[in-house]
Structure 1
Amino acid sequence: MSKKRYTHIFFDLDNTLWDFHTNSFHALHAAFQKFPNLNESTGFTTFFNTYSKYNHELWNTYRNKKVAKKELVLQRFQKTFHELNVSGVDAGEMNSLYLSEMPKQKKLIEGAVELLEYLMVKGYSLLIITNGFREVQFKKLEITGLAKYFNKVFISEDIQSPKPHRQIFEYAVKSSNAPKNKSLMVGDDWEVDIRGATNFGIDAVFYNADKQNDEQKIKFIKQNRSLVYSVNSLKDLRSII
């Protein structure tokens, strides 16, 4: 099958280009060390795993528009403190320290810079669609040097519509003057990035770093009217575009 010609490529940021798993671990550890009460009451690994559980749950709720940002950022720490019987630590202060440490972390997904260099030379219009918080996402892009590759950055907090909702994809595509049939979304989250993009009607690439083998996903790829590709590394994108 011949390659389809795309002109606009929309990237997710976290865990697609910026290594969220690794960077969030180190950012939270830096914040954790500034609270003696935490060091005395629990080990960091237990704290991180408990926090990650609640953070994941609350982000799913946030994407479904059932919790506000100000509640999310406090509850993820409040719930962690409650489960671990931690007292004397302010959830708001913990969150502020954590978010201040996040953009300082610079680890990127392997092959990210090489891919973006390749695509920029080829003349593609490169854009970001992300669900992260505005004050953090722009700093990540600047500090890692990724900002120079992207024409526009679309953040759910600004648009008031998180992925996978149709509105954020529609806003991003229209604001970029991107033809839908020449637009491609690249992301690591099947439900948020891939279903979101294809439900809007644009093609998508599932960055499947964990090599998930889910029959429902394979069936979706075969049946959906939009094209859905799956790659295990960013360098494999070159074979598609």
Structure 2
Amino acid sequence: MKHYRHLFFDLDNTLWDFETNSYDALESAFQQLGLYEKLTSFDDYFKIYYRINHHLWELYRNRDITKAKLIVKRFEDSLQEYGLPQPGKGEKINEAYLSQMPLKTQLIEGAREVLEALHKKYKLHIITNGFREVQHKKLVNSQLENFFHKVFISEVIGTPKPSREIFEHALKSSNARKQESLMIGDSWEADIKGAMEFGIDQVFLSDDFTDYVPQVKEKPNTHEIENKKGDSFQLTNGQTSTYFIHHLSELVNILM
């Protein structure tokens, strides 16, 4: 194994449990705005919202949509599809949602213990595609901020993962060299492919895709892998990530 000195972590769904916290935050926001009782099933609505929000974030990451459009469309489009149209209310709903997000502090299982172990030996940093008004607050409220030397937020840097520019900025600002840097994340496109194409090693955290590693290694010409949920990721020139892990706790076994 290479001698790493700098570990760059994604935040949402790598350390901070975005799926759980976003559900709870949106539920709280809808209760605050009087929308919750108008829904027959919040679970059914959230499934629609999750799908639409995921798609809009892909567009945002590829710079095909602005933040201003994303934060409005994700609520207005999902409520329209659900059957409870709220034209012109998207920005207000977004404000309530983002005000609730940093208050939710559920972490990915083992996150705190892993950071406790690793920060004694490595310099830890965050590279996240989240919005500036909530990402720092998430770290503070979750009591994670003291583990990290640097926090890089795409909106502040001016470019999201997987762009080369954000990785270049992060390494330069951290005085880190490529050969001593490792990116850890749950998004193949943003975290793994971005780091791979920039030229640093990666750890892909996924409880779905990792079942397919033997298949990928045996068939290096495979270009697409599908997980249990029907999501897929594109391989880059047939490459897999440097490391695959099912659970965050496995990172300690690799690095300690």
User: Given the two structures, how large is their TM-score scaled by the length of structure 1?
Assistant: 0.92
Match of 1:204 among 202, 205, 214: 202
Aligned amino acid, residue 253 of structure 2: S
Q: 1:223, CA displacement in angstroms? A: 5.7
What does 1:1-241 align with in structure 2 at a 5 Å threshold? 3-87=1-85, 90-122=89-121, 124-214=122-212, 218=217, 219=220, 224=239, 228-241=242-255
Q: How big is each residue's C-alpha offset from its partner over 1:24-46, in whole Å with a ceiling of 9 and x where there is no partner? A: 11011111112334522432112
* Per-residue Cα deviation, 1:148-168 (whole angstroms, up to 9, x for no partner): 000010011011111111111
Alpha-carbon displacement from aligned partner over 1:102-121 (angstroms, at most 9, x marks no partner) = 11111101111111111112
State, as a whole percentage, how many aligned pairs show the same letter: 49
**Separation of aligned partners in 2, 1:37 and 1:145:** 31
Task: Flag structure 1 segments of 5+ consecutive residues without an equivalent.
Answer: none
Q: 1:8 & 1:149 partners in 2: Cα distance?
A: 13
**Which has the bigger relative contact order, CA under 8 A and spacing at least 6?**
1
Secondary structure of the residue aligned to 2:105 is: coil
Which amino acid in 2 is paired with 1:236?
A: E
TM-superposed CA distance for 1:210, in Å, is: 3.0
For residues 182 and 236 of structure 2, what CA distance do their matches in structure 1 show?
A: 15
> Structure 2: 5+ residue runs without aligned partners?
221-234
Residues in 1 aligned to 2:118 and 2:168: alpha-carbon distance in whole angstroms: 23
Paired residue secondary structure (1:4)? coil
3-state SS in 2 of match to 1:121:
coil
> 2:25–2:97: 8 Å Cα contact kept in structure 1?
yes
Deviations 1:118-157 (CA, angstroms, capped at 9, x unpaired) = 11122x1100000000111000000000000000100110
- Give the CA deviation at 1:47: 1.4
Q: 1:84 and 1:227 mapped to 2: Cα distance?
A: 38
CA deviations on 1:49-73 (whole Å, 9 max, x unpaired) are 1111110110000000011101100
Does the aligned pair in 2 maintain the 1:31–1:94 contact within 8 Å?
Answer: yes
Distance (whole Å) between structure 2 residues aligned to residue 150 and residue 158 of structure 1: 17
Deviations 1:59-102 (A, max 9, x none): 00000001110110001011012212324572111111111111
Q: CA shift at 1:238, angstroms?
A: 1.7
**SS at 2:152's partner residue?**
strand
Q: How many residues are matched?
A: 237
- 1:240 deviates by 1.7
1:237 is displaced (CA, Å) by 0.9
Query: In the superposition, relative to structure 1, how do residues 84 and 115 fare at CA in structure 2: closer, same or farther (>3 Å)?
Result: same
Asked if 1 retains the 8 angstrom alpha-carbon contact of 2:210 and 2:246, the reply is no
Q: Distance in 2 between matches of 1:217 and 1:142?
A: 39
Q: Letter of the aligned partner of 1:116 in structure 2? A: L
